[in-house]
Amino acid sequence: LPIDSEHNAVFQCLPENYARDMDRQGVKRILLTASGGPFRTLEREALERVTPEQACAHPNWDMGRKISVDSATMMNKGLEVIEAHWLFDAAPERIKVVVHPQSVIHSMVEYVDGSVLAQLGNPDMRTPIAHALAWPERIASGVDSLNLFDVAHLDFEEPDLARFPCLALAFRAIEEGCSMPAILNAANEVAVAAFLSERCSFLQIPQIIEETMNTLQSEPADDLGVLLDADRRARETAERLVQAGVTRTC
């Protein structure tokens, strides 16, 4: 039972027996919503000067510093795409990211008949946790009811991959498969830690990840040892790039 708000929302919108065959159940694609983070409308030139404090100031969710930075780069959504791929056995081309600044719709499922089912609620992790704890029943979570009159309107945008290259890198990791998602994740953790300690700039985060992915070869992930080794090599490579300084524009 998925706990992350987006995957829990997808789970609630999928048919009960979706795992048997999504095509036979009429599922067309999964729509993962993203807030866009604090820099959704900031000019790309200004991103070079953002500080860790600015990156950690998420407009809707109260999260830790690392995940807040992932939200600002949209790497968190890239990792969620990878998770959705495995959780729901969905091909990458059947997963689409939709920027939804209000964070009221937590994700959607589109069906072949034109229907789109969405799970809505206030941005509060107690809702998906309560759903998973009580499933298939429902229990009170302590979350206030969603007031649609207060929400007033819902906005949707295409993700800007030029502004958020980390999202494109995550899709690349899925396509390459094998150990590449582990390489992506490890490089991101090193790059974000470097940004939070002011050893690299915000725009250098995707550069470090991409250079690490270009440097290391993906190997068949047929046992845990391969993945642990990929993680180790990616961290070492990313740390060298941090220390050397990455100047190439991503």
Q: Please tell me which residue, 45 or 140, carries the higher pLDDT value.
A: 140
pLDDT tops 50 at residue 115: yes
CATH 1.10.1740.10 positions along the chain are 177-250
**55-110 pLDDT tens trace:** 887 666 667 899 999 999 999 999 999 999 999 999 999 999 999 999 999 999 99
Q: Which residue has the tokens 């470097």?
A: 194
Q: 236 phi and psi, to 5 degrees?
A: -65, -45
pLDDT at 248: 47
| Mean local confidence (pLDDT), 165-192 | 97
- pTM to 2 decimal places: 0.90
pLDDT tops 80 at residue 190: yes
pLDDT at 60: 60
pLDDT band at 249 (very low <50, low <70, confident <90, very high): very low
pLDDT at 21: 79
**23-48 pLDDT tens trace:** 889 999 999 999 888 888 888 778 88
Domain 177-250 of CATH type 1.10.3720.10: no
Non-local CB neighbours of 113 within 8 Å, separated by 6+ positions: 26
Q: Could you give the C-alpha distances from 58 to 36, 50, 69, 180, in angstroms and in order?
A: 9, 13, 9, 28
pLDDT at 108: 98
Q: Which of 208, 228, 211, 206 has the alpha carbon at shortest distance from 219?
A: 228
| Mean local confidence (pLDDT), 157-173 | 93
pLDDT tops 90 at residue 162: no
Cis peptide before 136 (omega within 30 of 0): yes
pLDDT at 57: 79
Q: Please tell me which residue, 163 or 88, carries the higher pLDDT value.
A: 88
Q: Which of 52, 1, 43 has the alpha carbon at shortest distance from 200?
A: 52
Beta bridge partners of 118: 108
User: Do 92 and 176 meet the contact criterion of CB atoms below 8 Å apart?
Assistant: no
